[in-house]
Amino acid sequence: AQRVTQPEKLLSVFKGAPVELKCNYSYSGSPELFWYVQYSRQRLQLLLRHISRESIKGFTADLNKGETSFHLKKPFAQEEDSAMYYCALGKSNQGGKLIFGQGTELSVKP
Amino acid sequence: DAGVTQSPTHLIKTRGQQVTLRCSPKSGHDTVSWYQQALGQGPQFIFQYYEEEERQRGNFPDRFSGHQFPNYSSELNVNALLLGDSALYLCASSLGGRISGANVLTFGAGSRLTVL
């Protein structure tokens, strides 16, 4: 069965420190991987998707099919990065049906 | 553009009752997906509506049903409510049904259901 695992429920770092939010998935086909983010009192929104291979707000994520991982990274965390981050798995022929991980709360301390 | 709008924002029901939640998609979107988010968990896919038909369904019982109207808005109905149905119900809109691009979802703020 398809599954997304985010092993850390809470990740706390100091401003300026590097950040890595871990995401592992299980799926035998060709997955589409996403990171969605929810800032305080805001809606869940797309942060980035693996096929775009772009950097959003300084965050990047590389799909590693060998390790079945899609970790989210940022070299220097900012206080405004504090939020709930969800990794999600989708299939190209099942658009709209995403499998979400449990989420990681990132707290960036001043 | 108000984005995805959901109503009501909060509601309280008792076991056995029925509830209807409503969603209007983002302007230009034609597909609506519903998710259930229990406390401390990630969203879980319930079903998707496109062209007024249910196109995909997650692992939810038949007590969960829905509808999509010609203007693309959608309703989620839950019958015979159980305590375990207490959750945040999220509506997400996208374009194109099951195509790959429909994985880029625009979420509403959610309807928080409490079952007593």
pLDDT per residue as tens digits for the range A6-39: 999 999 999 999 999 999 999 988 889 999 999 9
Residue B61 lies in a domain: yes
The CATH number linked to B98 is: 2.60.40.10
How far is B94 from chain A, CA to nearest CA, in Å?
A: 7
Distances in whole angstroms, Cα of residue B33 to Cα of each of A31, A51, B45, B73, B90? 19, 22, 8, 11, 8
Structural element, H or E, at residue A32: strand A31-38
Say whether A46 and B3 touch across the interface (CB within 8 A).
Answer: no
Averaged confidence pLDDT in chain B: 94
Residue B29 lies in a domain: yes
- The answer on pLDDT for B100 being more than 70 is no
Across the interface, which of B4, B41, B103 has its CB nearest the CB of A96? B103
> In this complex, is the C-beta atom of A2 within 8 Å of any C-beta atom belonging to chain B?
no
Residue B31 lies in a domain: yes
Class of domain A3-109: mainly beta
> In this complex, is the C-beta atom of B95 within 8 Å of any C-beta atom belonging to chain A?
no
Burial bucket for residue B80 (CB in 10 Å: 0-12, 13-18, 19+): exposed
Encode chain B in three state secondary structure. CCCCEEECCEEEECCCCCEEEEEECCCCCCEEEEEEECCCCCCEEEEEEECCEEEEECCCCCCEEEEECCCCCEEEEECCCCHHHCEEEEEEEECCCCCHHHHCCEECCCEEEEEC
> What does the domain layout of chain A look like in residue ranges?
3-109
> In this complex, is the C-beta atom of B108 within 8 Å of any C-beta atom belonging to chain A?
yes
- The answer on pLDDT for A91 being more than 90 is no
Across the interface, which of B41, B90, B98 has its CB nearest the CB of A102? B41
A 10 A CB-CB count for A89 gives 23
- Who wins on pLDDT, A54 or B101? A54
- C-alpha B9, offset from chain centre: 13
For B60, the domain range is 5-111
Residue B96's pLDDT is 84
Residue B21's pLDDT is 98
> In this complex, is the C-beta atom of B60 within 8 Å of any C-beta atom belonging to chain A?
no
Using a CB-CB cut-off of 8 Å, the residues of chain A touching B94 are 95-96
Across the range B25-31, mean pLDDT stands at 94
Q: Provide the 8-state DSSP code for A30.
A: -
Residue B90 lies in a domain: yes
Distances in whole angstroms, Cα of residue A33 to Cα of each of A17, A18, B9, B68? 25, 22, 30, 28
> In this complex, is the C-beta atom of B15 within 8 Å of any C-beta atom belonging to chain A?
no
Residues sharing a CB contact under 8 Å with residue B4, sequence separation 6 or more, in sequence order: A43, B23, B24, B25, B26, B91, B92, B93, B106, B107, B108, B109
Residue B94 lies in a domain: yes
